[in-house]
Amino acid sequence: MPASSILSARDLEFLLHEWLQVETLTERERYAEHSRETFDAVLELAAEIATDHFAPHNRAADEHEPHVVDGKVVLVPEVAAALRVFADAGMTAAALPEELGGLQLPAVVNLAVHAWFQAANIGTSAYPFLTAANANLLVAHGTPEQVRTYVPPMAEGRWFGTMALSEPQAGSSLADITTRAEPQDDGSYRLTGTKMWISAGDHELTENIVHLVLAKIPGGPAGVKGISLFIVPKVLVGDDGALDERNDVVLAGLNHKMGYRGTTNTLLNFGEGGHTPGGRPGAVGFLVGEEHRGLTYMFHMMNEARIGVGVGATALGYTGYLHALDYARTRTQGRPLAGKDPAAAPVPIVEHPDVRRMLLAAKSYVEGGLALGLYCARLVDEERTAGSAADRDRAHRLLEVLTPIAKSWPSQWCLAADDLAVQVLGGAGYTRDFPVEQFYRDNRLNPIHEGTHGIQALDLLGRKVVADDGAGLALLAETIAATTQRARGTEWADLGATLDELVARIGAVTGALWADGDPERALANATVYLEAVGHVVVGWLWLEQALATPDQGEGREGAFYAGKRQAARFFQRWELPKVGPQLALLATGDRTVLDTSPAWL
């Protein structure tokens, strides 16, 4: 496959086959019909569709963002055309079971497939991304009838899906949602309330939109323990599967964002009487699972989305890096510092050390972020299909710890890669004549999507590393130690030793933060903890990649592996030293932020 400025097929090949050995998954019953050839074929098809149908309208969808005409959302027509090609190729259903119309791909291959579309056009790719996660939740927690009714049309791309959690007054504090769901005699519910920031919440791209809505049933427990989950279709569905009357879900307005402009972002009103299904107001909804367990079910979609957002951030950083690399290799400006002849021809800016510094930093971020996302997806496959219960449980526990990192680390550092891409292009970088400024704007949303940086930090330090007496953190340390053990006696022994030292310090700091059992003090600096642990995790994955490279050789392949090794060295020497001061700060139990009065700000 020729080199692309969207994503690196060669890097994906290395990560999937040379490092993660994904072909071994075909030895398991769920993936027995696949082979390396089928994996490579679907990846090649994804690259082709992303290049030919998604990337060309990325700028147009950004410049002509969604707007409402006569009560309907209007998008540039290329969005619908691209999504039709995407669905017809089976991409929406790539990871679904065959009996539901899916390709039954491993999660790790499916994530690599979707990375092509996220890198090519994050706004358009959001529609099927949300739809697939919606369908996966219903497969896991819906009734057989609900699965039969809603999943096949979403798998075919005829219907799209959303997740409707946030409300204007509640934001990320789901305990404070006020959307109500009143039980009806026929077993359905009638929902009333308002949902805010709902991506893909309204459009004319498909025949129907399947909303998964969090709401509270009157009389239930207070807070998050009283939340239930409901299917609320935009258009109700008859017993025969045909579309019926319009449900009482109304678009109240569009939010206008700095990035992701091709994705509609909506304020939705449920049950205000804009439509009257069955002759009366109220949005008709259908309970998923049991009452008051909705947040538990929604975490199935939210966790998938958290990893997906991290990969989307990586994809945007990756394409920014590749565009900057291409520019640096072709843009001539200035002369080497050692050059004495002012009449000498200018050199490509990649010859200047500081430009190489920026590109090497971006490379270490985006290739590290991609390894992190793929590793987590590989854990999903282990959780589903490993041969023993112990191995499945191990994968689940490790994935629990890594999920907040997989969402937040790329959202921070692959955004930094896009920032560096703008810098490499100089004055051209912040003009709209070049795409890197859009990549930066698009990527700036990801530190907020699916739970802010701070929320992920609270999840990691407040829940994941202390659950079951720290079993998850201990497992992560054990897993990293297995890699550093393999590095002993190799040229990477020093990187392994650095990681061993940092992992030990993380364990000690975690214990110290929780020593007095005061959650307010322990969590005051949780974001610093997330950043420190995240950097150590990515340093570990760079060691994994380095150990997977053969000795340096000559020619193009030699350059690829040499680049991998140099990026690993850069991360070791330039990035991991940042962790020590962060851990030292955490170890002091610093109260500067905690003791700051809001009046002083």
The Cβ of residue 140 has, within 10 Å, a number of other Cβ atoms equal to: 13
Helix, strand, coil percentages (3-state) for the chain, rounded to 5, are 60, 10, 30
Q: Say whether 383 is catalytic.
A: no
Q: Which of 78, 167, 437, 450 is catalytic?
A: 450
User: In 3D, which of 330, 335, 355, 354 has the Cα closest to residue 345?
Assistant: 335
Q: For residue 243, what are the β-bridge partners?
A: 237
The contacts found for 492-497 with CB under 8 angstroms, 24 or more apart, are: 492/543, 492/546, 492/547, 492/568, 494/572, 495/539, 495/542, 495/543, 495/546, 495/568, 495/572, 496/543
Distance CA 173, CA 171 (A): 6
The Cβ of residue 354 has, within 10 Å, a number of other Cβ atoms equal to: 10
Angle in degrees, CA 92, 93, 98, rounded to 5: 165
Amino acid letter for position 169: Q
Q: Which two tokens stand for residue 100?
A: 């539901």
Distance CA 406, CA 371 (A): 10
Distance CA 87, CA 128 (A): 8
Q: Is 489 helix (H, G, I), strand (E, B) or coil?
A: coil
Distance CA 348, CA 346 (A): 7
User: Locate tokens 């090794």: which residue?
Assistant: 565
Amino acid letter for position 43: L
Q: Which two tokens stand for residue 180?
A: 């109500």
Distance CA 463, CA 203 (A): 37
Where is 285: in which H helix or E strand? strand 283-287
Distance CA 147, CA 141 (A): 9
Q: For residue 164, what are the β-bridge partners?
A: 213
User: In 3D, which of 71, 109, 69, 281 has the Cα closest to residue 192?
Assistant: 281
Query: Strand (E) positions, 148-257?
Result: 159-164, 180-183, 189-199, 208-216, 227-233, 235-237, 243-246, 249-254
User: In 3D, which of 236, 258, 245, 201 has the Cα closest to residue 68?
Assistant: 201
Q: Which two tokens stand for residue 492?
A: 């990477």
CA distances from 181 to 188, 228, 269, 297, 345 (A): 9, 9, 13, 17, 72
- Per the CB < 8 A criterion, the answer to whether 456 and 404 are in contact is yes
User: In 3D, which of 225, 210, 215, 130 has the Cα closest to residue 167?
Assistant: 215
User: In 3D, which of 104, 8, 87 has the Cα closest to residue 47?
Assistant: 8
DSSP letter for each residue of 64-97? S--EEETTEEE--HHHHHHHHHHHHTT-TTTTS-
Residues with a catalytic annotation lie at 450
